[in-house]
Amino acid sequence: MSSHKLKVLVERSIFESNSEKVKKYLEELKELADVEAIDPYASRDEWLSKIKDVIAIINRKAKLDKEILQHANYLRLIARTGVGVDETRIDLDEAKRRGIIITYNPGVNSPSVVELTFLLALALMRKLTRIYDLVKGGKWVEAQGILGWELYGKTMGIIGLGNIGKRVARVAKAFEMRVIGYDPYVIEKPAEVDEMAELRSLLSISDVVTLHIPLTKETKGLIGRKELLLMKKNAIIINTSRGGIIDEEALYEALVNKTIAGAGLDVLSVEPPLETNPLLKLENVIITPHIGGVTAEAFERGAENAILEVMRFLKGEPLKNVFKY
């Protein structure tokens, strides 16, 4: 390496954070390494230039694909600020082949994701965006005539019962909802859930279906045309996990044909979406730009923990949360 110190690359939003805690830990990191900022959406040439002599990256939004990793001759650690470790952020086959350690932050953004899940559900059930547009357009009386639905007494089907899924279940119980869970990796029914069900059964009886699973080879396209046809016509589906789990072409058809009532999507298969994505034009869809874990509190927790993992690595100390390939 050209520098007298080891080099660490940090995404710009963290590098320029106003959080006093994040600033403090960054200053401590700078005592151990040269720290440089990069825009996660920087040009390919900039990434390939900056990555070549980096030993660690603090990764939040950037896509570290095969070509980038192949130019990272000294890279030994990718410290994720978030919960997810999957192909939407890192080429895992290439990272594994190169012996790169990946750390992550289980549970760091759970409260934020859970709150957005219910924000989307409530907005869809109460037809909030339609009502808001009418009021802004001077159609107050017409807006008053739109009837939404309560969460009270409805059935919520939760796909994935990890930290976030169980938190969603607890909040759903506060709304006095019946909670059904599906997770092939959970053997015993969690206390937060009323009953466990197979996927087909969950889809057919739920009024609100919400996804809280990682994107893997097994979950890609998990919700497709056949699955959407099982859902109630007044049901809605929420995805705050990863794009690609829902077949978007099938979802578009289901929404246009009124097979289901609506969808709340914080994630898409391609982010940012192409202008031609037909989901963007539908009234019964609410799309947010992958901000489930993007609150001031979650950002601060994730950035702190990622910086601490890099410092542990540079000091030769045990790492706290290492991803298992």
pLDDT at 1 over 60: no
127 and 22 fall within a common domain: no
Does 225 qualify as catalytic in the annotation? no
Average pLDDT value for the chain: 95
- CATH number, position 63: 3.40.50.720
Name residue, tokens 């057919």. 204
236 and 160 fall within a common domain: yes
152 and 57 fall within a common domain: no
Cα–Cα distance for residue pair 196/183, rounded to 1 Å: 8
Cα–Cα distance for residue pair 275/148, rounded to 1 Å: 29
CA dihedral (126, 127, 128, 132) positive or negative: negative
Q: Which of 60, 167, 212, 290 is catalytic?
A: 290
| Three-state secondary structure call for residue 235 | coil
pLDDT for 110-141, tens place per residue? 999 999 999 999 999 999 999 999 999 999 99
Higher pLDDT, 108 or 206: 206
214 and 138 fall within a common domain: yes
Spell out the alpha helix ranges (H) of 98-237. 110-125, 128-136, 140-144, 163-174, 199-205, 225-229
Give the per-residue pLDDT at 83. Answer: 84
pLDDT at 44 over 50: yes
Query: Does any domain span residue 321?
Result: no
Query: Does any domain span residue 228?
Result: yes
Q: Which of 271, 283, 297, 317 is catalytic?
A: 271
**Residue 305 CB neighbour total at 10 angstroms:** 21
Does 31 qualify as catalytic in the annotation? no
- Full-model pTM: 0.84
Decide: 205 and 227 in contact? Cβ < 8 Å: no
Of 232, 190, 229, nearest to 212 (Cα)? 190
Decide: 85 and 138 in contact? Cβ < 8 Å: no
pLDDT at 2 over 50: no
pLDDT for 66-116, tens place per residue? 999 999 999 999 999 988 788 878 999 999 999 999 999 988 999 999 999
At 4, the pLDDT band (50, 70, 90 cuts) reads low
Q: Which of 89, 242, 300, 304 is catalytic?
A: 242
Give the per-residue pLDDT at 3. Answer: 46
Query: Does any domain span residue 322?
Result: no
Average pLDDT estimate for 242-255: 97
Cα–Cα distance for residue pair 165/238, rounded to 1 Å: 12
User: Structural domain tally of the chain?
Assistant: 2
At 318, the pLDDT band (50, 70, 90 cuts) reads very high
Using alpha carbons only, give the angle 219, 158, 175 rounded to the nearest 5 degrees: 160
Backbone angles phi, psi at 72, to 5 degrees: -90, 75
258 and 125 fall within a common domain: yes
Does 80 qualify as catalytic in the annotation? no
pLDDT for 9-42, tens place per residue? 999 999 999 999 999 999 999 999 999 999 999 9
148 and 231 fall within a common domain: yes
